[in-house]
Structures are given as C-alpha cells and as structure tokens.
Amino acid sequence: MREVAIIGVGIHPWGELWGDSLRTIWTRAALAALDDAGVDRVDAITVGCMSGGMFVGQEHLGALLADELGMAGTAAMRVESACASGGMALRAGFAEVAAGLADIVLVTGVEKMTDVSGDEATAALATAADAETEVFYGATFPGLYAMMARSHMAKYGTTAEQLAAVAVKNHTHGMLNPNAQYRRRVTVDEVLGSTMVAAPLHILDCSPITDGAAAVVIAEISVARRLAKGRPLVKISGVGSATDRMALHSRADMAALPSTTLAAERAYAMAQRKPADVHLAEVHDCFTIAEIMVLEALGFCRPGEGAAQAPSGRTALGGERPVNTSGGLKSKGHPVGATGVAQVIEIVTQLRGEAGERQVKGARVGLTQNMGGTGASSVVHILEVAS
C-alpha cells in the first residue's frame, strides 16, 4: 500500500453564515488548503456532506464544487455516512492515493445548515437515524443521546456535573480557536442551569447547528516530501472504519460504542500503535456524553472511567492527553459533513507545531474519531509526524 501524507489544510471561521452559500464556504476552505499545500491541481476531489438535498436542495456536490473551484474535469464524488461523512471522505481519498488511482486528492467536508428552519434541520438530521423504527416514533438525536447518557449514568454512576465538565473544557479550548463558532467560556453551573433539551442533556451539553467547510490536501508520500518545503510532514498511518446496529434499541449496551472500538482497533493495527502512543485526539462530542463514551471506546481509559477524564484535567490542554483542543463539536461547531475533516486539520496543525496558544507540546501522534448517528458509523484516523 502506498503511504499517504497530508500536505495542506484549509478552514474558515464557522458559524451562522447567512450571507454565504454552501458553494462559497466550501470554496473558501478548498482554496485555503490548496494554498497551504502549494498546489494548483489535484487528481481527484472527495466531498463529505450529509444532506445537500435536504439542507440546500442540491445533490451532485462533487461535480458542482469541482466546477466552482475552476477544476471541472477533475474526478469528484460525494461521500456520505451521516455525521461521519467528513471522516469517510478522508478514508475514500486515502484509498485513491494508496491504490495509485491518484497522487494528490483534495478531501473536503461541508454542511450549510442554517438555510432551513430549526424544525427542518432537526428533520434532516433525523435521517441519520432509522426512519422506520426510530424517527417514525418521534426519536430525534438529543432524545437518543439522552438515553445513552441515562444508560451510562445507571451503569457507571456518571453525573450531570461530569457531563458538564466536558462542555466547560471544550469551550475553554474553543476560546483559543479563531475558527470556532462559540468562543466563550461556560461554567458547570451555566451548563446545569441551561435549558433542558432531553434529560439529562441541557442545551449546553449539545453541539450547535453550524455552517462550515473544511479541506485537506493529501498526497502520495514521495510527492508530499517534494512539496513539504521544510515543514514537518504529517502522514496518515492508520485508517479504520466500522458500523454498528443502526437503531439504538437494537444494541446490547446503550452505554458503549462498539463501532468506535472496532474502527480504532483497525486503525491501531494498521498504524502498529496502541492507545498509550497517542498524544492528543479530536473526538466526536456531538453531545457531552459522546466524548465520555468515545474515550472509553478508543481505549484511552476503561469502560466507566470516561466521565472522570474532563473533571480531572487529563483531557484538557496541559493534561496528559488533551482531547478536542480545537474546541470540539461543542464549541467549534458541527457542520455535520465538515466535522470529520476539521478534526484532521486540528491534529495536523498540532503535529506541525502551528497551533499557537493551544499548542500541545511534543505532540507527534494524534488520532481523530468521527461518527454518524448514535454511533452506527465510526471512522478513526491516526496521524503521525513522518520521520
């Protein structure tokens, strides 16, 4: 298998971008990544997007966006795995380069979520759950994750304060990220005092609705070395993807995320790494409970110990293994198709030593974990400074 490295990253400030269209924000990120990589052509483009159809009435984003970028002709496709679409777009791009179908691929993610009403956005997001056995009966994602939280509380004694500590940590990190949607501190009391969405999840336990895009340029490693211009080169050493039963009620244990465990095992095996080798991670904190369960699934701690991580400071900047230094989905925002790509951008920025105030010192191995639905899809990447 050919080795693959990341040679450029591009993002822009996320938020409620009512003045910009999907194609505008995507092009902004794509141009930034191409500029960072120092290339003006690529062999292929992948676009992670959950629902161009339901959010903006536009499918066929591969061709549309290649054209928008002035690159009509270039092979392009969209990849969708609900909120894991961005991570899967990287996996698809990786496969093209690793196989030799392409030397350089522009991997992107985008979602424009605020052009529809909140109700319409909730309905669009709900299509990531099982339409026949979950959505039909009224389930939405806050409700489903609330059941996962209740289950974790019942099984392990997890508390609302521990959930809130995840939000506090990620907002503290997000204040240092100029591209984050909500750059403001929150306290445990503010989280616990905020509107209850689906008990035990308050609104400050939930990631927001966001417009945003993200892009990275990947290349076969010898091509990447030629283009690195002295900067540290970040290679993709592990790729793992897995699914789980679609409906939450079909699973044996609502307090676990086996698709993330399986995806991580596959990525660790490919990279010949173990959890202890990972210096920092970006994980899918769509709700505070998700970060807790993901830390357990990745093997960063034992089952039941995830809730203690944020309160102890171990996952904060300056802690033993910082998690979501970008602010995570919680503070940075969660344009669903873009999230998985933005996670990779944060790790690359850290491994290059270019993260400024939020730099994790000595970081050489990072991990991203992106998931769809209530964990029916997971994708994990391991990134390392290439020697």
Amino acid making up residue 283: V
Q: Which of 49, 83, 206, 286 is catalytic?
A: 83
CB 191 within 8 A of CB 202: yes
Q: Is residue 144 part of the contact set for its own copies (CB under 8 A)?
A: no
Candidate residues 159, 222, 250, 272; the one interacting with its own copies per rule CB under 8 A: 250
Describe the crossing of helices 339-351 and 85-99 by its angle, rounded to 10 degrees.
60
Contact 255, 288 (CB under 8 A): no
Give the residue, chosen from 31, 77, 116, 147, that forms a contact with its own copies under the rule CB under 8 A: 77
In this structure, the number of other CB atoms found within 10 A of the CB of residue 166 comes to 29
The count of chain residues that interact with its own copies, using the rule CB under 8 A, is 70
23 vs 284 by CB, closer to its own copies: 23
106 binds its own copies (CB under 8 A): no
Judged by CB under 8 A, the stretch of 30-38, 58-66, 139-147, 205-213 that binds its own copies is: 58-66
The residue among 13 and 53 lying less far from its own copies, judged by its C-beta, is 53
376 touching its own copies, by CB under 8 A? yes
Q: Is 127 in the site for its own copies (CB under 8 A)?
A: yes
User: 47-82 in b/e burial notation, b at 16+ Cβ within 10 A?
Assistant: bbbbbbebbbeeeebbbbbbebbebeebbbbbbbbb
DSSP helix/strand/coil, 273:
coil
Omega before 200 within 30 of 0, i.e. cis: yes
User: Would you call 334 a catalytic residue per the annotation?
Assistant: yes
Q: Cβ of residue 26: shortest distance to its own copies, in angstroms?
A: 13
Q: How far apart are CB 214 and its own copies at their closest, in Å?
A: 18
Near its own copies by CB under 8 A, which window of 52-60, 144-152, 191-199, 357-365? 52-60
* Binding residue (CB under 8 A) for its own copies from 25, 82, 206, 351: 82
Q: Does the footprint of its own copies cover residue 246 (CB under 8 A)?
A: yes
Answer for which of 16, 35, 120, 132 binds its own copies (CB under 8 A) is 132
Residue 34 makes contact with its own copies by CB under 8 A: no
C-alpha distances out from residue 257 to 147, 176, 263, 343, Å: 13, 30, 10, 19
According to the binding rule CB under 8 A, does residue 269 interact with its own copies?
Answer: no
The stretch near its own copies (CB under 8 A) out of 6-14, 48-56, 156-164, 361-369 is: 48-56
State how far the Cα of 345 lies from the Cα of 177, in Å rounded to an integer.
Answer: 12
Find out whether 21 and 219 touch, Cβ atoms under 8 Å: no
Answer yes or no: are the C-beta atoms of 10 and 214 closer than 8 Å.
yes
Nearest in space to 71 (alpha carbons), one of 113, 36, 122, 26 = 26
- Residue written as tokens 């974790």? 152
For the bound state, the minimum distance from the C-beta of residue 55 to its own copies, rounded and expressed in Å, comes to 9
Q: Which residue has 């040679």 as its token pair?
A: 7
User: Which residue in the list 12, 173, 334, 381 is annotated as catalytic?
Assistant: 334
- 8-state DSSP, 299: T
Q: Does 1 bind its own copies (CB under 8 A)?
A: yes
The answer to whether 129 and 135 have CB atoms below 8 angstroms apart is yes
Residues that bind its own copies (CB under 8 A): 1-2, 21, 23, 44, 50-54, 56-64, 66-68, 71-82, 88, 91-92, 94-96, 98-101, 124, 127-132, 135, 239, 241-247, 250, 258-259, 262-263, 266, 372-373, 376-377
Active site residues: 83, 334
